Amino acid sequence: MPEGLKDAEKCIELDPTFSKGYTRKGAIQFFMKEYDKAMETYQEGLKHDPSNQELLDGVKRCIQQINKANRGELTPEELKERQGKAMQDPEIQNILTDPVMRQVLIDFQENPRAAQDHLKNPGVKQKIQKLVSAGIVQMK
């Protein structure tokens, strides 16, 4: 873990309401191309400072990067790198090894109506959003 990331996490630990900690942590995660984690960090910061422009801009940049993958605008190398990083995330690994989520992902490919039903479940929807943000699943 980069030292800057450790410093930002310590900053947040010492004062969870200090928005600079979130902007720094999010910027480092963004630079590391961990857009899903960066977006979570920026959103967490917005809970403490909802009008902070740096945090709002960070969320916007993350969404733009995530949408690039969904629009097919990444090179195969960029997509492979992004997916490789995501697969190192224990949360992603847990989602992909969950038998229920595996069936949900199969339904997304084979049965769009069932997929829509799955998205009504908040837990499933959150996990799908995590996979999309990480670049594992593409929604076109």
pTM: 0.72
Domain segments of the chain as ranges: 1-73, 75-140
Q: For residue 56, which phi and psi values (nearest 5 degrees)?
A: -60, -45
Options 3.30.420.40, 2.102.10.10, 1.10.10.10, 1.10.260.100; which CATH number does 75-140 get? 1.10.260.100
CATH numeric code, 1-73: 1.25.40.10
Contact (Cβ atoms closer than 8 angstroms) between residue 30 and residue 61: yes
CA distance linking residue 79 with residue 54, whole number of Å? 27
Q: What average pLDDT score do residues 10-31 get?
A: 95
CA distance linking residue 97 with residue 7, whole number of Å? 33
- The full DSSP string for 56-69 is HHHHHHHHHHHHHH
* Coil vs helix vs strand at 139: coil
Q: What average pLDDT score do residues 85-104 get?
A: 90
